[in-house]
Amino acid sequence: MTLLTATALNASLGSRKVLHDVSLSLAAGHLVALVGPNGAGKTTLLRALAGLIASDGDIRIGGDALASLPLRERAKRFAYLPQGHMVHWPLPARDIVALGRYPHGATDPARLSPKDVEAVLRAMQAVDVEAFSDRRVTELSGGERSRVALARVLAVEAPVILADEPTASLDPRHQIDVMQKLRNVADTGVLVVVVTHDLGLAARFADHVLVLSEGRLAAQGAPDAALSEAVLASVFRVRAYRAEFQREAVIVPWADV
Amino acid sequence: MSVQDFALAAEVAARRRWSATAALLALVVLLCVLSLGIGPVRLSPLAVIEALFGAGSDVAQVIVREIRLPRTILAFAIGGILGLSGAALQGLLRNPLASPSLFGAPQSAAFGAVLVIALGLADVRSYALPVVAIIAAFGSVFALLAIAGRNAGLLILILAGLAISSFAGAATALVMNLSSNPFVVLEIAFWLLGSLEDRSFQHVALALPFIIAGAAILLSHASAFRALTLGEEAAQSLGVDVARLRLLVITGVALGVGGAVAVTGTIGFIGLVAPHLMRPLIGHDPARLLVPSALTGAALLLAADIAVRIIPSTSDIKVGVLTSIIGVPFFLYLIMRERRALGGGVA
């Protein structure tokens, strides 16, 4: 079922045009990988979809035009995870996760309604962070912190999650762990869009891959079609080793073209 | 973890914060009473309370209610708004070194006020003084945030703040330089040092409306500072209108600092120090720090204003001088503590 569509999306950063006529249609329950070389406009596309930057074109979420939705309503529909899991003050992990309820009017983590507390607990259970809910986020390891950030996004309980490089700077085990958790969330009917540089993770976990090149959609579709040899050569300028392992696609970029 | 555990953890933390805030409030009340009792005629706390409520001797009543009360109200209100402004700016910029005085706001407000005095545009007790001071403070904080840009690191903010306060200082010096009347120059020079001496209810009426308006603006956006803990983008994605918040915080700080500077001259570093003293007690949540920081600021200025009256010296020590003498070493200590973040170039 189509949940999020964008038609003829154009966006600029300053005087530089970053997105050119991007049109896409994404379905609920899908994990969508957004890939592309550095500077292709992946983060800009994600921000435009969430309505965080101005863009021309029509974005529709569940039938409503994004432009017509007030800020609060947008916040309930899109949970956005920026790059880097930035947390500026050493707050306890629990308070950070509780910020996910902010769009629902729960602006004070000390005064959550039972419904909000349940949502926060569900989110913490889903990514396994209950054990350190009292610890300050700044004292957690990178892997733990990325899970807390993920829990904050899950606590919004939005129909769409937009995550910008959630696996960056994580070790292989935590990368797989985060992708698996996002996969589980998508399986509950949420649309999850993940920006990643890891084509292997994209091929393995995504239902749908968007390949962005110089601000244009160069390819999209099922992983093996969207990440075909021709696309890898023309967009990423690499050749890849391809195989299948435990019935999942394996793509390992190997050498330049 | 169950819903009950969750609620219990929140309650324990909340109780600790409440007791800290209550203790602080008691300290502020105590300092107010002490402040009302100290001067050429020393009054016991009991005599002060009697006089306040219309009992005791007529002389004591006049001293407490007409001579000393305006000074105490101003110390409370100005210390409070400075502490609050510091906490709000630190919350907005997610930065423990943010404060009005490091950003040149009081210096710019002082320039505005000096301009009005030197040009003889208005009487020292007219509303022109705070209004021009507020406009100058708004201009300086606005310029600072515009120069620093979004997500600015410590280094850029501090450098831009240094440039703006130096510029405001130079502009003030120019006004004094060009002024032909030596008495005006002397008056300005003393006024710039920052003092609460000989202030009347007219001064209170001049500053208080702006201070209250500024405080109301800053306090009503407390929870947005909490969302900003995650950075501007994430806060916006949670429904915070960050651009509007910025403008409101600048306005609130300018109203408070401009109103304060217009009647007392520059009193620095309370905004920087107050939130830091509170973090070990209250925690780092920028929304919860606002009220305790305001109370701490009030306590600091009340204490400093008591100190300048009891430190024996040949001429009066100005309270603005004292807060800077104590505040600057504290600033150096903070720099040492934040050395790693500063050394990295970006925070």
| Average of per-residue pLDDT values in chain B | 89
Taking an 8 Å cut-off on Cβ atoms, the answer to whether A152 and B230 are in contact is yes
Closest CA to A208 of A24, A21, A9: A24
Per-residue pLDDT at B85 exceeds 90: yes
Residue A160: which region, alpha, beta or left (left: phi > 0; alpha: psi -120 to 50)? Answer: beta
What is the helix (H) or strand (E) element at residue B338, kind and residue range?
A: none
Range of lowest pLDDT (A120-124, B179-183, B294-298) = B179-183
Q: What is the pLDDT of residue B119?
A: 81
Taking an 8 Å cut-off on Cβ atoms, the answer to whether A89 and B287 are in contact is no
**Residue type for position B259:** G
Taking an 8 Å cut-off on Cβ atoms, the answer to whether A71 and B241 are in contact is yes
The residue-averaged pLDDT of B256-279 equals 92
Q: What is the pLDDT of residue B346?
A: 38
- Dihedral sign for Cα A179, A181, A182, A184, please: positive
The residue of B238, B285, B290 whose CB has the most chain A CBs within 10 angstroms, and thus the best one to mutate to test that interface, is: B238
Per-residue pLDDT at B35 exceeds 80: yes
Residue B311 binned pLDDT confidence (cut-offs 50, 70, 90): confident
> Tokens representing B146?
């515009």
For chain A, domain boundaries: 1-62+192-257
Q: What is the pLDDT of residue B343?
A: 55
Range of lowest pLDDT (A39-48, B26-35, B111-120) = B111-120
Per-residue pLDDT at A21 exceeds 90: yes
Residue A170 binned pLDDT confidence (cut-offs 50, 70, 90): confident
CB A150, CB B234: distance < 8 Å: no
Taking an 8 Å cut-off on Cβ atoms, the answer to whether B238 and A99 are in contact is yes
Measured between CA atoms, the residue of chain B closest to residue A156 is: B238
> Tokens representing A129?
């962070």
CB B36, CB B68: distance < 8 Å: yes
Using a CB-CB distance cutoff of 8 angstroms, which residues of chain B are in contact with residue A112?
A: 6, 10
SS3 category, A119? helix
Q: What is the CATH number of domain A1-62+192-257?
A: 3.40.50.300
CA distance B125 to B335: 39
Candidate from B14, B231, B238 with C-beta closest to A86: B231
**Among the ranges A85-89, B8-12, B274-278, which has the highest mean pLDDT value?**
B274-278
CA distance A233 to A98: 44
Per-residue pLDDT at A12 exceeds 70: yes
For chain B, domain boundaries: 68-343
The residue-averaged pLDDT of B71-100 equals 94
Measured between CA atoms, the residue of chain B closest to residue A76 is: B238
Burial of B250 (0-12, 13-18, 19+ CB in 10 A): buried
**ipTM given for this complex:** 0.92
> Tokens representing A47?
């921000």
The residue-averaged pLDDT of B65-74 equals 94
* B9 CA: distance to closest CA in chain A (Å): 8
CA angle (B330, B331, B336) in 5-degree steps: 95
What is the helix (H) or strand (E) element at residue A168, kind and residue range?
A: none
Taking an 8 Å cut-off on Cβ atoms, the answer to whether A134 and B239 are in contact is no
CA distance B234 to A52: 9
Candidate from B6, B10, B230 with C-beta closest to A99: B230
Domain B68-343 has CATH 3.40.50.300: no
Q: What is the pLDDT of residue A247?
A: 87
Range of lowest pLDDT (A25-34, B146-155, B271-280) = B146-155
Q: What is the pLDDT of residue B331?
A: 87
The number of residues making up chain A comes to: 257
Taking an 8 Å cut-off on Cβ atoms, the answer to whether B238 and A82 are in contact is no
**Residue type for position B157:** L
Per-residue pLDDT at A203 exceeds 50: yes
Residue B30: which region, alpha, beta or left (left: phi > 0; alpha: psi -120 to 50)? Answer: alpha
Candidate from B227, B241, B284 with C-beta closest to A102: B227
Q: What is the pLDDT of residue B213?
A: 97
Cβ-Cβ contacts under 8 Å for A13 (sequence gap 6 or more): A44
Q: What is the pLDDT of residue A175?
A: 93
pLDDT (tens digit per residue) in B223-238:
999 999 999 999 999 9
CA distance B137 to B77: 18
The residue of A69, A72, A73, A88 whose CB has the most chain B CBs within 10 angstroms, and thus the best one to mutate to test that interface, is: A88
Taking the CA atoms of chain A, what radius of gyration do you get in angstroms? Answer: 18
CA distance B256 to B133: 10
The residue-averaged pLDDT of A5-20 equals 92
How much is the pTM? 0.91
